Amino acid sequence: MKIDFIELRHIRMRLVAPFETSFGVELDRDCVILILRGEGLTGWGECVAGMSPGYSYETTMTAWHVLTDFFVPAIVGSEIVTVEDLRDRLRVFKGHPLARAGLEMAFWDLLAQAAGKPLATALGGVRKTVPVGVSVGIQKDAELLVDTIGQFIDQGYDRIKIKIKPGRDVDDVQAVRRAFPDLKLQVDANSAYTIEDATSIEALDDYDLLLIEQPLAEDDLIDHSRLQARLKTAICLDESILSVRHARQAVEIDACRIINIKPGRVGGLSEAMAIHNLCLESNIPVWCGGMLETGIGRASNVAIASLPGFTLPGDISASDRYYVEDIADPPFVLNPDSTLDVPTKPGLGVEVLGDRLDRVTLRREAFRA
Ligand code: NPG
């Protein structure tokens, strides 16, 4: 397919509530939306790099630079037949997986539309609905945390993840466990600990958690392996896994027993599928992480979460958990069994609302063949 046109939009959307992690607080979500045109079709992608380099080194601005100066010029006007062709053209460039993944998502959407298939089917999905949970940011105190979680449970979420950091870990978990003894509960440290101060992580081992996510530094598989040997609870890696090679090495040395797959973090849906396949063969459960996506990225996450190895609930909550007004329609709505429906229309299966997109656009740039 010849890619005739590519447009980028830097957008900013106000979150319904501030989201606090061990690396900071977000009031607004910035990202780059990609629009690809070919054969009369329009494909949509979302690059999930945010405003600050808190989660990864990439930001909305670095993604904008790398996309406009390198990735997009390597694609626009070209005849691209498969996703592998697209990946080949970008192989000369190093890094920047979040930027890469946004472009790849838009191409996957184009290809799935051209084939008349929902993205989930094009990726090999097998589920009609996917199990989901909600990720709760750090709250002012444990009481407010318990209260906030209670509200999400009342809305129908049956799996909760809480963010932790040194000083806000064991007491928070203990309070939540006391209030909700049977809740499916997991924690995420976003690499806020070192092996030396991991005693509070060990103290979490007695709270029947589903998993402990990314306790140590992203480039430290060895210490994760040492820590896993001291825990009954499974360590789940997120930031450490940027490729199928990292996943294989982490599994080989028992640095984790569960993997969080975010297509953005690993450079796109194809690499995400490769990690899924490896984990399925190795009996490592996976689940789909979230980056506070708009309805565009959420549609892609729901599609990949329909693959057979995604057996744990994803951080893919309903649209109203994030934004008052999303840019894509229809919104994702929580089913009573804590699942979301997988879209059934061709491609991503959601429609982007032009007026709303215009209202949240800070900057745009178009490239023609
Ligand atoms: O529901 O999309 C969601 C948020 C899930 O906690 C979540 N994401 O570290 O995984 C993370 C965290 C995150 C959010 C990371 C925003 C980066 C940006």
For residue 51, the model assigns a pLDDT of 95
pLDDT confidence band for 216 (50 / 70 / 90): very high
pLDDT in tens, 50-108: 999 999 999 999 999 999 999 999 999 999 999 999 999 999 999 999 999 999 999 99
**For atom 7 of ligand 1, which residue has the closest CA?**
290
pLDDT confidence band for 47 (50 / 70 / 90): very high
Are 19 and 53 in a shared domain?
Answer: yes
Are 283 and 206 in a shared domain?
Answer: yes
In this structure, the strands spanning 286-288 and 258-261 are: parallel
> Which atom, in ligand 1's list, is nearest to the CA of 161?
6
The CATH number that applies at residue 58 is 3.30.390.10
**For atom 5 of ligand 1, which residue has the closest CA?**
290
Ligand 1 in contact with 200 (CB < 6 A)? no
Would the pLDDT of 23 be above 90? no
Are 169 and 187 in a shared domain?
Answer: yes
Share of the chain above pLDDT 90, in %: 98
Ligand 1 in contact with 315 (CB < 6 A)? yes
Would the pLDDT of 246 be above 90? yes
Mean pLDDT of the chain: 97
Residue range 270-290: average pLDDT? 98
Are 361 and 259 in a shared domain?
Answer: no
Structure tokens at 179: 């209030």
- In the chain, DSSP finds a helix count (H) and a strand count (E) of 13, 15
In this structure, the strands spanning 328-329 and 235-237 are: unpaired
CA distance 169 to 167: 6
Are 171 and 202 in a shared domain?
Answer: yes
pLDDT in tens, 178-208: 999 999 999 999 999 999 988 999 999 999 9
Domain count, the chain: 2
pTM over 0.95: yes
For residue 28, the model assigns a pLDDT of 96
Would the pLDDT of 44 be above 90? yes
For residue 97, the model assigns a pLDDT of 98
> 81 CA distance to ligand 1 centroid (A)?
33
HSE-CB at 302 with a 13 A cutoff on CA atoms is 30
Distances (CA, A) of 83 to 116, 144, 145, 296, 334: 17, 46, 43, 19, 31
Residue range 264-292: average pLDDT? 98
Ligand 1 in contact with 135 (CB < 6 A)? yes
Q: Collapsing DSSP states into helix, strand and coil, what is residue 331?
A: coil
Residue range 269-291: average pLDDT? 98
Ligand 1 in contact with 290 (CB < 6 A)? yes
Question: Taking Cα atoms as reference points, which of 51, 45, 53 lies closest to residue 30?
Answer: 51
Question: Taking Cα atoms as reference points, which of 328, 244, 266, 289 lies closest to residue 101?
Answer: 266
Which residue from 186, 292, 300 has its CB within 8 A of the most atoms of ligand 1, so it is best to mutate?
292
Which residue from 55, 98, 130, 326 has its CB within 8 A of the most atoms of ligand 1, so it is best to mutate?
55
Are 194 and 235 in a shared domain?
Answer: yes
Rama region for 338: left / alpha / beta (φ>0; ψ in -120 to 50; rest): left
Residue range 275-288: average pLDDT? 98
Are 231 and 107 in a shared domain?
Answer: no
For residue 22, the model assigns a pLDDT of 83
Would the pLDDT of 288 be above 90? yes
Residue range 7-17: average pLDDT? 97
**For atom 12 of ligand 1, which residue has the closest CA?**
291
Are 179 and 240 in a shared domain?
Answer: yes
CA distance 17 to 28: 9
Residue range 277-283: average pLDDT? 98
For residue 369, the model assigns a pLDDT of 87
Domain span at 11: 5-116+350-368
Ligand 1 in contact with 50 (CB < 6 A)? yes
CA distance 357 to 117: 25
pLDDT in tens, 96-141: 999 999 999 999 999 999 999 999 999 999 999 999 999 999 999 9
Are 333 and 189 in a shared domain?
Answer: yes
Alpha-helix residue ranges (DSSP H) falling in 206-283: 221-229, 244-252, 269-281
HSE-CB at 346 with a 13 A cutoff on CA atoms is 11
The CATH number that applies at residue 276 is 3.20.20.120
> 58 CA distance to ligand 1 centroid (A)?
14
> 306 CA distance to ligand 1 centroid (A)?
20
Identify the active-site residue in 117, 128, 262, 345: 262
Q: Collapsing DSSP states into helix, strand and coil, what is residue 338?
A: coil
For residue 202, the model assigns a pLDDT of 95
**Token match 């429609």: residue?**
351
Known active-site residue 94: no
> 293 CA distance to ligand 1 centroid (A)?
9
Are 222 and 363 in a shared domain?
Answer: no
> 288 CA distance to ligand 1 centroid (A)?
11
Are 318 and 364 in a shared domain?
Answer: no
> Which atom, in ligand 1's list, is nearest to the CA of 316?
1
Residue range 138-164: average pLDDT? 97
> Which atom, in ligand 1's list, is nearest to the CA of 290?
2
Are 323 and 360 in a shared domain?
Answer: no
Ligand 1 in contact with 292 (CB < 6 A)? yes
